[in-house]
Amino acid sequence: MKLFVREQIPLIIVYIAQLALILFVFWLDGYQNYSIILYAGILSGCLFIGYLVYRYLTHRSFYKRLEELHTPMDEFIKAGPGAPLATSLHLLLKSQYRQYQNDLHHYQHKLKDHIQFINQWVHQMKTPLSVIHLMIQDEDEPRFTAIGDELDRMKKGLDMVLYTARLDEFEHDFYVEMLPLEKVVRSVTSNQKRLFIRNRVFPSLQLDDELSIASDEKWLSFVLTQIITNAVRYTTDGNRKISLKGFKRDSNVVLEVQDQGVGIPESDLPRVFDPYFTGENGRNFQESTGMGLYLVKQICDKLGHRVEIASTVNKGTTVRIIF
């Protein structure tokens, strides 16, 4: 109703001005029978009001839908009003909506093909990496050790690409089950032993073997790998420890990963979960991508876990996952 009134305000003003002008012309011509003039004005006004009422009734559904800003497009175009303007707008919206759906399906199909290509490419790249790793695993020379370290970096980079690509289709690629927390953590730390040795940083596990969590082992292992990799990367001094503690807090199970690294400046903490944000540490550590903690947050949210982070510069960082 309000939209209809606002639209008709110019017409009402023009009508009143036109009526006043016509009556004024008659008055100048010497016709000064006020009762007749008043009667003509009332009659004309009634006809005009009748026109407005008719127009409102025929366009009521049209104006009602225009006022509902959050009406879904498919519902907006369902009913085609009989008024010419409303019908024309209905046909236009229907055509535009059909074009929008076609474009949307086209880009969704392209995105799906792109993700499938990335998945296939990552898996293809992992095969030669595994072969090279097998070829050098029995070699003790420093150059082969260096090659193994670079292979680990490449594998982690490929995993990040793979999990980033799969994130949008997370609902089709996860399986929640009850997992012993200690077993999952020990498996991840064992897989990262080369990283610990290379950086002369050692894990310290304090986990109750009775703690169980409901999660997806594959996605959770990736999350823990990202957290541990960050903890090791930002621990610049050797012979340091990374503590991994598991404990009960109220009704929740908490996994805490604490390092003794460079820490995160307080001004950067609110943004550490933003994509591609590297902050002050990113200028000092060239390997920073800004995607690790972003993926940690996104995956934890999808798994129903909560992630917290606290840090003090030059003292270390603590990341907690609350199950």
Residue 75: predicted pLDDT: 58
CA 97/CA 305 separation, integer angstroms: 38
pLDDT band at 256 (very low <50, low <70, confident <90, very high): very high
Where would I find the beta strands (DSSP E) of the chain?
177-180, 201-207, 212-215, 240-249, 252-258, 306-312, 316-322
Residue 163: predicted pLDDT: 86
| Each residue's pLDDT tens digit, 72-92 | 666 555 544 556 766 777 777
Mean pLDDT of 244-252: 89
Mean pLDDT of 88-111: 84
Residue 306: predicted pLDDT: 93
| Each residue's pLDDT tens digit, 6-44 | 777 888 888 888 888 877 777 776 776 777 777 777 888
DSSP assignment of 143-198 equals: HHHHHHHHHHHHHHHHHHHHHHHHGGGGGGS---EEEEHHHHHHHHHHHTHHHHHH
Q: Which residue has better confidence, 282 or 207? A: 207
Q: Cα 276 to the chain's mean position, in Å? A: 14
Residue 285 phi, psi dihedral angles, 5° rounding: -120, 110
Q: Cα 164 to the chain's mean position, in Å? A: 12
Selection from 192, 110, 185, 111 nearest residue 149 by Cα: 192
Selection from 36, 44, 39 nearest residue 19 by Cα: 44
Residue 168: predicted pLDDT: 79
- Of the CA atoms within 13 Å of residue 289, those in its CB half-sphere come to 14
Let me know how long the chain is: 323
Quote the mean pLDDT of the chain: 83
Radius of gyration of the chain (CA): 35
CA 323/CA 304 separation, integer angstroms: 8
Residue 321: predicted pLDDT: 94
CA 266/CA 271 separation, integer angstroms: 10
CA 262/CA 234 separation, integer angstroms: 6
CA 14/CA 22 separation, integer angstroms: 12
| pTM as predicted | 0.69
Mean pLDDT of 207-229: 91
Is the torsion defined by CA of 94, 95, 98, 100 positive or negative?
negative
CA distances from 284 to 133, 264, 288 (A): 30, 12, 9
Q: Cα 89 to the chain's mean position, in Å? A: 33
- Secondary-structure percent of the chain, ordered helix, strand, coil, rounded to 5: 65, 15, 20
Instruction: Inform me whether the pLDDT recorded for 5 exceeds 80.
Output: no
CA 174/CA 313 separation, integer angstroms: 36
Residue 108: predicted pLDDT: 85
Residue 268 phi, psi dihedral angles, 5° rounding: -90, -20
Mean pLDDT of 196-209: 87
| Each residue's pLDDT tens digit, 137-195 | 777 788 888 888 888 888 888 888 888 888 877 877 788 899 999 999 999 999 888 88
3-state secondary structure of 249: strand
